[in-house]
């Protein structure tokens, strides 16, 4: 059965923003999932993911458990990946179903399956949904990441496979922006006069005469 037929959960979307509490809660769920799979302190956890929220969560989970994150390249480097997996003795691999990088789609899970034919130590493959495409599936070994984390682990929109720093503002909400204008070039909002303590005057000549009369005693005139 293909992977897209098995996954009914929800996953991270491009507009999702997590608070610190939500991120830590997901990290706790992920660390609990790793422990259920037998991962303990100093155990390697192989990760083959693009830059995404799940990758951050997995890093925090590894820190919580004390496991060592083993980052694998996304592009097709089968011999290198196989060597790293066998040398590390990793039993758990976390990879994307497929992902977009360098302007092209990489069939990450399919490539990982070909690599694992010569990696007997790997017992579990956790698949993170990125592009929601059909993937080869090995029952008993392969599991969906969001299902292992449990209910409420993922927001509802599909993730495009790459991160962005663009955030869509809420409708009707003012957008914050940086202003590089000279702050001394304009008047402040509470500025009620036209100078430092000067009284406003419509005519400059008349204003000067009024100021002279106000500031000098009569015997000076």
95 domain residue, yes or no = yes
Average pLDDT rounded to a whole number, residues 29-39: 97
Residues 37, 92 within the same domain: yes
Residues 114 and 39 placed together within one structural domain of the fold: yes
Q: Tell me the per-residue pLDDT of 94-127, one tens digit each, with 9 for 90 and over.
A: 999 998 877 888 999 999 999 999 999 999 999 9
Kindly state whether residues 128 and 58 are assigned to the same domain: yes
Q: Are residues 102 and 211 in the same domain?
A: no
Average pLDDT over residues 8-17: 49
- For residue 93, the cross-strand partners are 46, 125
* Residue 174 placed within a domain: no
Residue 133 within a domain: yes
pLDDT for residue 216 is more than 70: no
In DSSP notation, 163-217 reads -----PPPTTPPPP----S-TTSS--TT--SSSSSPPP-SSHHHHHHHHHHHHS-
User: Got the DSSP string for 113-152?
Assistant: HHHGGG-TT--EEEEE-SS-------TTTEEEHHHHH-TT
- The closest of 72, 189, 199, 167 to 125, measured between CA atoms, is 72
Residues 111 and 199 in one domain: no
Check if the beta carbon of residue 4 is closer than 8 Å to that of residue 127: no
User: Is residue 109 assigned to a domain?
Assistant: yes
- What is the rounded CA–CA span in Å between residue 141 and residue 77? 22
Mean pLDDT to the nearest integer, 128-145: 92
Q: Does residue 2 carry a pLDDT above 50?
A: no
Pairing relationship of beta strands 142-144 and 124-128 according to DSSP bridges = parallel
- Tell which of 116, 134, 149 closes a domain: 149
- How does residue 1 score in pLDDT terms, banded at 50, 70 and 90? very low
Q: Among 96, 117, 149, which residue terminates a domain?
A: 149
Model pTM score: 0.65
139 and 217 part of one domain: no
- The parent domain of residue 200 ranges over 193-221
Q: Is 165 a residue whose pLDDT tops 70?
A: no
CATH assignment at residue 25: 3.40.50.980
| Shared domain check, 117 and 46 | yes
Q: Answer yes or no: is 185 within a domain.
A: no
Average pLDDT, the chain: 77
For residue 160, what pLDDT is reported?
Answer: 42
Residue 156 placed within a domain: no
User: Does 41 lie in the same domain as 126?
Assistant: yes
Same domain as 132, residue 72: yes
Same domain, 141 and 219: no
Q: Is residue 184 part of a domain?
A: no
Residue whose C-alpha is closest to residue 167's, from 19, 15, 11, 13: 15
pLDDT tens profile 170-205 = 555 554 455 556 666 666 555 555 544 555 555 555
**Is there a single domain that holds both residue 120 and residue 47?**
yes
Of the pLDDT bands very low, low, confident and very high (cuts 50, 70, 90), residue 19 is confident
Q: Is residue 155 part of a domain?
A: no
Report how many domains make up the chain: 2
41-86 per-position pLDDT tens digit: 999 999 999 988 899 999 999 999 999 999 999 887 899 999 999 9
Give the per-residue pLDDT at 215. 61
Q: What is the pLDDT of residue 73?
A: 93
Strands 142-144 and 99-101: unpaired
pLDDT of 117: 95
User: Are 105 and 212 within one domain?
Assistant: no
Domain final residue, candidates 149, 184, 202: 149
Span 8-36, mean pLDDT?
Answer: 77
């Amino acid at each position: 059965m293909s992977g897209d037929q098995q996954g009914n959960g929800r996953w991270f979307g491009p507009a999702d923003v997590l608070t610190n509490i939500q991120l830590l809660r997901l990290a706790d769920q992920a660390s609990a999932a790793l422990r259920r799979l037998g991962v303990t302190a100093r155990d390697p956890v192989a990760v083959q993911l693009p830059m995404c929220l799940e990758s951050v969560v997995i890093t925090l989970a590894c820190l919580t458990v004390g496991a060592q994150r083993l980052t694998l390249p996304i592009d097709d480097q089968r011999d290198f990946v196989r060597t790293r997996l066998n040398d590390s003795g990793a039993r758990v691999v976390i990879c994307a179903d497929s992902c977009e990088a360098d302007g092209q789609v990489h069939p990450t899970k399919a490539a990982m399956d070909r690599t694992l034919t010569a990696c007997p130590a790997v017992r579990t493959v956790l698949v993170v949904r990125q592009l929601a495409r059909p993937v080869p599936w090995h029952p008993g070994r392969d599991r969906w990441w969001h299902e292992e984390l449990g209910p409420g682990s993922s927001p509802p929109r599909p993730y495009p496979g790459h991160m962005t720093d663009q955030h869509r503002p809420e409708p009707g909400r003012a957008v914050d922006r940086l202003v590089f204008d000279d702050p001394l070039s304009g008047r402040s909002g509470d500025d009620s006069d036209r100078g430092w303590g000067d009284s406003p005057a419509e005519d400059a000549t008349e204003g000067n005469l009024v100021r002279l009369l106000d500031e000098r005693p009569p015997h000076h005139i």
